[in-house]
Amino acid sequence: MTQFMKKTAIAALLSATSLSAAQAATPLGDVTVESRTAGIEGAASFLFFPNITEDLENAIEARLPMTGMEKDAQIEVQVIELLLDGDTIAPDSTEFNEMQITVMYSHPDNAFPSEIYPARVSATEVSVPVPAGFKVVDATAPDFYRVLMAGAADQVVKLLPEEIEVTPYN
């Protein structure tokens, strides 16, 4: 009888430990990407690339498993600025090779504090200097747009807080 009690107590302890470990892991629910810069939607680059927010959202979703549940951690990405070689793009320009975004991670139940991180991505040839603080993505191919979306999505993954325990897709 005491042997049975010991096994039951050990099994209960292991179950409780597993349950608390499972509760500590915070799955990722969803990602939202928006443009927050006044007037940026009317810029020619947004007319030329009308799905920039959806393309960035898809690039992030391709890298991170998500539950789609509102009760889980959320990511909100805001496109702040599009630049061409460090300068603000002209309203009639369709060219840009740098992007500034902010990334906010939050949890609806406040399981961890909401945090906002700035991220800057530049798609350029390796030999071209970029401003300090930018993540450089080698864009030897002519598809700077695709490279920028991939680079920004990689930054979102890199900035994941410890409280969100997901394994990025390869």
Percent of the chain with pLDDT over 70: 64
In SS3 terms, 80-131 reads as EEEEECCEECCCCCCCCCEEEEEEEEECCCCCCCCEEEEEEEEEECCCCCCC
- Only one residue has tokens 């889980």, namely 72
CA 102 – CA 15 distance, rounded (Å): 40
Report for 6-10, 46-50, 80-84, 103-107: range of highest mean pLDDT: 103-107
Summarize pLDDT for 22-39 with one digit per residue, the tens. 345 688 899 999 886 555
Which of 38, 151, 15 is closest to 91 using CA atoms?
38
pLDDT digit string, tens, across residues 85-141: 777 776 666 677 788 899 999 988 888 888 899 998 887 666 667 677 766 666 554
pTM, two decimal places: 0.72
Give pLDDT, residue 94: 65
